[in-house]
Amino acid sequence: MCEAHVGLKRPCARGSLHAGCPAPSNGQPLDYDLNAPIGTYDEQTLPYCRTSIPSATRTVYNSGQNIRTEYALGAIHNGGHCQWAISYDDGKTWVVIKTWRRNCLRNASYDKPYIVNVKIPDDAPSGKAIFMWLWNNASGVRELYSNCADIEIKGKSGGKLKGLEPLIANYGSKSMYIPEFPTASNDDKGSAFSQRKSITVSTGSTQIDSDPICIET
């Protein structure tokens, strides 16, 4: 397995070969490059979840529960911007449930696990879902990293979840460009995160607002 960069270790990502994870299923490919980027500003190499094939095994969480995420560390590129999001419609639309600007992974240590708790909102609807992690690195080639885990949420029946769409950057020339920002004096384009559009999702429908809303992250 490629350990050159950073990838999601827990919950088990699609195609994962990490110990303790179920074998890839449903014809899902083995992902030997789980830590590699899915694209750069010049090209889109892979889709957000690296593969569109879901896992047969899903980890079950309750609404309001923390997802204890852990990462396989290679090159951490001075950290960067991380977003975590949920989709109920096979990855067509996403709602962000946590954002960590600039300092995500920055202080990671190779000799101990790197853990980030991501809370599932209290009002998250019940249903099968995809949990996605996105990372824009602070230094090096302008890249986007992503892994997805297939989960099931036990929450509100018929509930709705309102939040923000992910900011997609350095993922093909039509995406936003974020330059390197290894120090505090570098512009990390953080203002763009407050301009993400509002989105409301449920297990039956999705509504995207036409105007962005500003939320401090």
Q: Which amino acid is at 201?
A: V
Range of the domain at 49: 6-212
Q: Name residue 37's beta-bridge partners.
A: none
**What's the structural domain count of the chain?**
1
- 3-class secondary-structure state, position 192: helix
Residue 217 domain flag? no
In whole angstroms, give the CA distance from residue 159 to residue 84. 20
The answer on pLDDT for 128 being more than 50 is yes
- Of all residues in the chain, what percent carry a pLDDT higher than 70? 92
pLDDT 10s digits, 37-94: 999 999 999 999 999 999 999 999 999 999 999 999 988 999 999 999 999 999 999 9
Residue entry with tokens 């330059």? 179
CATH number (domain holding residue 108): 2.70.50.70
Please tell me the distance from the alpha carbon of residue 35 to that of residue 179, in angstroms, as a whole number: 21
| Percent with pLDDT over 90 in the chain | 82
**Whole-number Cα distances in Å, 205 to 17, 124, 197:** 34, 14, 17
Q: pLDDT by residue (tens digit) across 138-159?
A: 999 999 999 999 999 999 887 7
Q: Are 205 and 93 in contact (CB under 8 A)?
A: no
Distances from the Cα of 80 to the Cαs of 60, 145, 212, in angstroms?
29, 11, 23
Q: What is the pLDDT of residues 94-108, one digit of tens each?
A: 999 999 999 999 988
**Residue 5: its pLDDT value, please?**
87
In a domain, 1, yes or no: no
Q: Is residue 214's pLDDT more than 50?
A: no
Residue with tokens 């999705």: 206
Does residue 64 belong to any structural domain of this protein? yes
Is-cis flag, bond preceding 113, omega within 30? Answer: no
Distances (CA, A) of 176 to 40, 159, 162, 215, 217: 11, 32, 23, 19, 19
> Under a CB-based contact definition with an 8 Å cutoff, are residues 130 and 148 in contact?
yes
pLDDT band per the 50, 70, 90 thresholds, residue 204 = low
Predicted TM-score (pTM) of this structure:
0.92
- The vertex-93 CA angle with 135 and 67, nearest 5°, equals 55
* Higher pLDDT, residue 74 or 133: 133
